[in-house]
Amino acid sequence: MMVRAVLLAILLLLVVRAINLLLRGITGGGGPSRRRVPAQPVKLVRDPVCGTHVPPRPSLSLASGGTTHYFCSEECRAKFGKP
């Protein structure tokens, strides 16, 4: 009889904890440490050869005529340079 009461108490504890976690997830009560910081938007530039939009910082670039062009790949940069 005692073992049954202990097992019932453990089961009740697990059910209450699961309901608490579920309600916290629904209401967003994770607290300030769990909130996501929104990412900073990145302005994309268009590759003049294939039209792909790329972020300017990690992409390949080529300056010509006072303008900087950004490319998604070496192939696009090479095609742009050919007449």
Task: Identify the DSSP state of 75.
Answer: H
Give the domain extent around 27: 1-37
56 shares a domain with 23:
no
Model confidence over 14-26: pLDDT tens digits? 999 999 888 887 8
Number of domains, the chain: 2
Model confidence over 34-80: pLDDT tens digits? 567 778 888 999 999 999 999 988 778 888 888 999 999 999 999 98
Please tell me the pTM assigned to this model: 0.51
The three-point CA angle 24-30-34 to 5° equals: 150
SS3 (DSSP) at 69:
strand
4 shares a domain with 29:
yes
CA–CA separation, 80 and 65 (whole Å): 13
54 shares a domain with 28:
no
82 shares a domain with 51:
yes
